[in-house]
Chains A and B, each alone.
Chain A
Amino acid sequence: MSLAIKSDLLRNDSPTADPLLWISKEPLPQEYRSLALMARADWAEAQSVIQAERLLQSGRFSVVFVSTDLGEDAALDLIYVAKIHQGFSSRILRSQDLNERITREGINRGQVLRIIPQDLDVDTFHGLLNGALEKHLQRSKQFQLLKESSQRNRELEGLNNSLEHIVEERTLHIEISHTEEAEKLSRERLLIRFIKELAAQGSFEDILQVLRKELRKFHKLGDPILAYSVAGAKTELMSFHGGQFRQSESAIDIVFPDKYHSNHPQLVRHLANHYGRPFIKTLIFPLELKLIQQLAEGSAEAILCFESSLADKDLSTFLEYVNDRLGPLSMALDRVLLEYQLSSFSYRWEKTFDSMKDPIAIVDMDYEVVRANKKFPEHISGQKCHVSFAGSKEICHGCPVAKALKEKTSGSGQIKIGVKTYQVYSYPIMGENGGRSTNVVNQYVDITESRQLYLKVLQSEKMGAIGKLAGHIAHELNNPLTGLRSLAQVLLHEVPKGEALYSDLLEIEKAAMRSQKIIKNLLEFSHNDSQPQELISVDEIVEKTLPMLKTALRSHRFQLHLSSRQALVQVEPHLLQQVVFNLVNNACQSMKDPGTLTITSAISPTNPNCIELSVGDTGPGIPENIQNKIFEAFFTTKKEGLGTGLGLSMSKSIVERFGGSIHFESKLGKGTIFFITLPIKEMTA
């Protein structure tokens, strides 16, 4: 502490910055004021409580004098205010009558330095002032010192702190690198687990589920959305909706970016449109599909999208995380897409074959069905094709399989199953190196209808041609026959009866007449056009028809029992002739060895209003399993080219047209009798 201040502060050159404050009703006495000037301190004065309070609150004073002439309470309050606001100041209370309350409160509340009488002489005041200033200085210095020391202290503390911080940091760093290593390890482990898991997944859904599970730790990240497009097909979008996997086709083709985008307005707009909801910031990662690109010749693209509201810090972690997984993910998707594509190829093939209208089957060299489309009849695996398709233990007549396999080239043939006719096309499946093929693809085209049509056309053309030919022949024959018969008639007039010549001429005339009749019948029979119905007896029709059957009947015994000449039926004679012709012709053909053909006509034993005509043979009979088929059109037991399968069906329709019916009785090994019943229209005498 400076001694100079102790000696006389008022005379000291050292500045005492802070002014002195005089609070009193009476002004500062001049002698006091000059003392302060010497101490280079200004005096401030307050003569009212308000003024004093303002100064005490705003200014800074070294010594504060408060006089009780402002009132005792006011003076004590002001001292207290001074203590609060001017803590370093020396407070001096001036009081004329020093009572106990002033002393107590002044010291206790105001912590005054001194209590002095109001009229203190200058010398004493000088000493007091000196002491008060010194006290003030002392306090200030003390405070300064305290402040400095605490400053130091703080600095030291700071230093200490930073040292500690450095140590902590170092420790932390070591710890961090340790955890980093551990983290790195666990990251690798996780990655490996992820890859393993991916490898086990067989569908987009499973892969995306794995990814979704993995990414669950990133909050504020949406579920993954996968978009892909292969070979120019529509873009497929896969996503989760309420935890459920969804796959949908994009209405518009999405342009796939080829690098990572933290935002891609166009794509986000597509997504928003597609899902019908707004999308926040969306991260887009392109995936590389190497395998499928090769398959689809370069046009396979895919992207992975995440809606994200990740903070920057989390985002970088996420990006790192995804970058680690993009490779394996691409590969897994690539694989699944490839499998899917391949299976969809085979699925499409299957569908293609199933949607074809013809039965198709792959048949091996033992005629066993390897595979067949839906149109092919159901079969047990390994069943022979002729069993499942034709229901036959024998290889179908006309089957092209053996030839196709042998000649290594496609072949075709016709097979008949019941009334159906199939054109079978066999295409051998060739091995890679052109070796022996063991399988064929069989296509069965149902040509029943076209064949029926063809045969019908053939039949009508045949009949037409026969008609024309018959007409032509008839004309050519009629002329000479007319001449022959007429000349015979003329000559018969010129030759006397009884001569041999006469009877010869008569025979010529008769033969010519017979020929004319045959020609007439032939013309009628082969006539294709509709002819008017006639009232005619069945007997007459049979008689007209028989001459045309002479060849057929030649090798058989023939019995004719016609006994219904008076019963007339209403028919188109030439059509009924065809029926008789067909029945007799069939009967004759059925008898391989010479047999007996019997034609009988009589009033029906069951219905006296009908006439019954029967044509019986002694052939082998009709097997039971085809008995219900023989009236079907195009059913024939005759060899190709010998019968059209139309004869009996036509006969049936002709007989029914005239209100009649046709049926048969057959015994195996004994023969068959066909019965025609026709309603009688009229009886002649």
Chain B
Amino acid sequence: MKILVVDDEPLVRRSLGRALKSRGHIVFEAEDGLQGLLMWREQKPDLVFLDVLMPKMTGPQVLIEIGEQRTGKVILMSAFSGEHNMETTMQMGADLFIPKPFEDIFSIVNVAEGLLK
């Protein structure tokens, strides 16, 4: 499966990417919202990990911008849990909300794979 990870924190991108690759997925990484939007259009991934607070474009802005061209499922991630929750995430058209920090990255990977089935 093609998975896009959009997060401005390199360690998050790297750890998610590595974990997903170890499960045999093709992973694309974008370091801000704009780059993420472009990659999303270009690669048409099956799943997108989308951070909320990012430079250039926030996660929700990317969601609005991609509009009809959107492909795949979307997992929204945020460290600022006060602002977003499952409900607001659904309203924005995403499929899952994961608060940061993660306790265990492999449980996240499991959840994502469950979403793809």
Contact = CB atoms under 8 A, between A and B. Distances in A.
B9 interface: yes
Name the residue in A471, A483, A486, A490 with the highest tally of chain B Cβ atoms < 10 Å from its Cβ. Answer: A486
Contact of B11 (A471, A475, A486, A516): A486
A483 B9 contact: yes
Interface of A: 471, 474-475, 478-487, 489-491, 493-494, 516
B9 to A, nearest CB: 4
A493 B106 CA distance: 10
B18 A482 contact: no
A494 B22 contact: yes
7 contacts: A481-B101, A483-B13, A486-B15, A486-B19, A487-B15, A490-B19, A494-B18
Contacts of B100: 478-479, 482
Given A484-B11, A487-B18, A493-B22, 20 more contacts: A475-B53, A478-B101, A479-B7, A482-B9, A482-B79, A482-B100, A483-B13, A483-B15, A485-B105, A486-B15, A486-B19, A486-B102, A486-B105, A486-B108, A489-B15, A489-B19, A489-B105, A490-B105, A494-B18, A516-B101
A134 B75 CA distance: 185
A480 B8 CA distance: 10
Name the residue in B8, B11, B19 with the highest tally of chain A Cβ atoms < 10 Å from its Cβ. Answer: B11
B57 interface: no
A118 B99 CA distance: 187
The 4 lowest CB-CB distance pairs between A and B, nearest first, are A483-B11, A486-B15, A487-B15, A482-B101
Contacts of A475: 53, 79-80
A60 B70 CA distance: 174
B58 to A, nearest CB: 13
Interface in B1-35: 7-16, 18-19, 22
A490 B18 contact: yes
A483 B12 contact: yes
B30 to A, nearest CB: 15
A44 B79 CA distance: 172
Contacts of B87: none
Interface size class on chain B is 20 to 34
Contacts of B105: 485-486, 489-490
A482 B12 contact: yes
B68 interface: no
A520 to B, nearest CB: 9
B42 interface: no
A483 to B, nearest CB: 2
A543 B108 CA distance: 29
Contacts of A483: 9-15
Given A489-B104, A489-B106, A479 B9 contact: yes
Contact of B15 (A478, A490, A516): A490
B76 to A, nearest CB: 14
B14 to A, nearest CB: 6
Given A485-B101, A490-B105, A480 B22 contact: no
A433 B19 CA distance: 91
A374 B105 CA distance: 76
Contacts of A491: 18
Contacts of A479: 7-9, 12, 79, 100
Nearest to B17: A490
A311 B105 CA distance: 128
A490 B22 contact: yes
Interface string B74-89: 0000011010000000
A29 B22 CA distance: 209
Name the residue in B8, B15, B53, B80 with the highest tally of chain A Cβ atoms < 10 Å from its Cβ. Answer: B15
Contacts of A486: 11-12, 15-16, 19, 102, 105, 108
Contacts of B10: 483
A87 to B, nearest CB: 156
Given A479-B100, A482-B102, A487 B14 contact: yes
A479 B81 CA distance: 12
A475 B82 CA distance: 11
